[in-house]
Each structure stands twice: as structure tokens, then as C-alpha cells.
Amino acid sequence: MTESLLSLVPKAEAKQSMKDFKSDQEVRWCPGCGDYAVLAAVQGFMPELGLAKENIVFVSGIGCSSRFPYYMNTYGMHSIHGRAPAIATGLASSRRDLSVWVVTGDGDALSIGGNHLIHALRRNVNLKILLFNNRIYGLTKGQYSPTSEVGKITKSTPMGSLDAPFNPVSLALGAEASFVARTVDSDRKHLTEVLRQAADHPGTALVEIYQNCNIFNDGAFEVLKDKEQAQEAVIRLEHGQPIRFGADGGKGVVRDPATGDLQVVPVTPANEASVLVHDARSASPTTAFALSRLADPDTLHHTPIGVFRSVVRPVYDTLMADQLDTAVEQNGKGDLAALLTGNDTWTVVG
């Protein structure tokens, strides 16, 4: 089981409400933007954590989503493009009494800031990273992003984009992430449940949030949101449950015995027992990775949402703090005069 590090963060003295987490700043995203829903979900979820709000910090990079900290009545920093995980790493590793959240987008996290993201994940710094993925550059007015589908026609790619996209969940799993989840902006209940698990996770939690940009990439996730289509398109992952979806759970995920890969099959009484049971806590990320590859990058059919992986491994900030304690145990608390003097001295007397 997970050992939450939330116990290091001071608790709120009084019961909080969503209102406590709204800043006095006017929210300035485009009307209809998916970011509003995520903001509301986060503000609505925060009181549940019951943390002193002065001990919560939101750090963001650059992009539409990165305006997020301005709207949270907590401490916050709107930093520079791609660098939020690095800045948050310094904050979290020096202040374990803080709950540190990173808000980023597909361009911020996966393009200019790709390096910082993967290294935060491998270190397992105690950060909660909310990656708003709208598969487009919004703030610069509509260029393709590193998660855009191949052939995307945008202002910078009038004949279609040429480069293959990243799958953020696959990337995070490959970068040794200990917690990886995916959710959707419009599904408040699911989003909140994922936030709940992420907040409780010791170490880096990466939450990919599919978010609609109604100006430059409207409807990008419609297939996952439209009730009828979603039934066939969305695979809801729940730890310990067989991975089934579709009308009446008529489809399931099974392992191909020949290749070891996963495939979607109609569930029959004959194969029902072989439907994969989701194990987010599996020591190996292999199956989680295979799940992340199920979705068709173009149609988004068979898109799993939920927690792909949630395992406990040493947290960087804890290890760093432990080393400081060990150093004091071994050498005593630092004595500046002794340090400056060193071992080889000579004395000049007047």
C-alpha cells in the first residue's frame, strides 16, 4: 500500500470550501475552454485534502493552461516555458511540508520542457503534474503540438504535420514514472477520483487530462465524450477489475498468447476468464505500457482512462532529507569554524 507523504503537510484549521481556493483574479481563458472544467474540479477537490492552503503551491510553465496558478488562492508561480518541473523540484525537495502541483500543457511539458518532465519522473520527486493535453498550441494561436496526429493541418503545417506524436502515458511509463493516469476534462467525477489518487501518491504523479480547445482544435476528444461513441471508444481502468467496456461490457482486453501483446476482443463465456484484470500496482510497467498503446492515435478508439500505474518506490525528496540526517548522525552538525580551519594550518604570531 502507499504511504502518503501528505502527513508532512500541515492541515487546515477550519473546514474548507471550494470558495476558499478561488483567487480574486478574473479567469481569462476563452469562453468554452476545457480549462474551466479542470479548474473547477481542482478547486472543488482541494477542500477534501484538508491541507493548510498556505502550504499548497501551484507552479506552471507557459501556455494557456499555465495561467492556472493565478486562479488558485494558494501560493503560485507562473514561470517560463517548459521549466515548471525543474522549479517545482527545487521547491519540493527543499520544502517537504508543501504540497506542490505542476500545471502544464502538451507543448510546455512534451516539447520545450520534455527533458525536465522525464527527469522529474525518473527521480520521483513528490510533485503532482497535471498535463493538459489539447493536442494543439493554443496560446500561439494554433500550431500543431507534439501530441497532434500526423498530417494535422495547422497554420504552421498547411500541407499537414510530418512528425509522429508522443503518447504522454507511454512516455511517462518509459521514463520510470511511479504514477501515471489519464482523465478527461468534462468527466468531473472521474477527474476528481484521479486527482484524489494522485494527491495521495508518494512521488511524482503524472495526470494527463484530455482537454478541449474549442478555438483551435474543437472536438478533438469528442469520440470520448459523446455518450454513444464513448461506450465503444473509452476503456475505464480500475485496479483489480477485469478490463471490459462497450455495451454491457461486451468487449474486453486479453493478452495475445502468441505475442504477449494486448488486444480487444468480444467477450464470450469461453474467453471471459482470460480477460485481463487491471493491476496498477504491478511491479513491471510492461502491461501498463501495452494498455497505453491500445488507443488508435487517429480515431482515439480504445482509449484507456484511469490510473495506469501506481507503485511505491523511493521518493527523491525523502532520500535527500535522509542523507542530510545521516550526514549529521555520522559527522555531527556542521561546525563552520572547524570546516574553515581544515587539517593543514600554520600560525603566525605577532
Contact footprint for other proteins (CB under 8 A): 10, 23, 25, 52-57, 59, 69-70, 72-80, 83, 86-95, 97-98, 115-116, 119, 320, 323-324, 326-328, 330-334, 336-337, 339-342, 344-350
CB-nearer residue toward other proteins: 69 or 304: 69
CB-nearer residue toward other proteins: 227 or 333: 333
Provide, rounded to whole angstroms, the least separation between the CB of residue 316 and other proteins: 9
Q: What's the grid cell of residue 267?
A: 467477450
Q: Are 274 and 257 a contacting pair, CB within 8 Å?
A: no
Q: Cβ of 325: how many Cβ atoms within 10 Å?
A: 9
CB-nearer residue toward other proteins: 85 or 252: 85
Provide, rounded to whole angstroms, the least separation between the CB of residue 67 and other proteins: 9
Query: Rounded to whole angstroms, how far apart are CA atoms 6 and 174?
Result: 26
Query: Rounded to whole angstroms, how far apart are CA atoms 109 and 106?
Result: 5
Provide, rounded to whole angstroms, the least separation between the CB of residue 169 and other proteins: 21
Beta-bridge mates of residue 137? 143
Provide, rounded to whole angstroms, the least separation between the CB of residue 46 and other proteins: 12
In the DSSP assignment, the letter for residue 269 is T
Rg (CA), the chain: 23
Closest listed residue to residue 165, CA positions, set 306, 64, 308, 293: 293
Q: Are 281 and 310 a contacting pair, CB within 8 Å?
A: yes
CB-nearer residue toward other proteins: 159 or 340: 340
Provide, rounded to whole angstroms, the least separation between the CB of residue 297 and other proteins: 28
Q: What's the grid cell of residue 314?
A: 523511493
CB-nearer residue toward other proteins: 89 or 183: 89
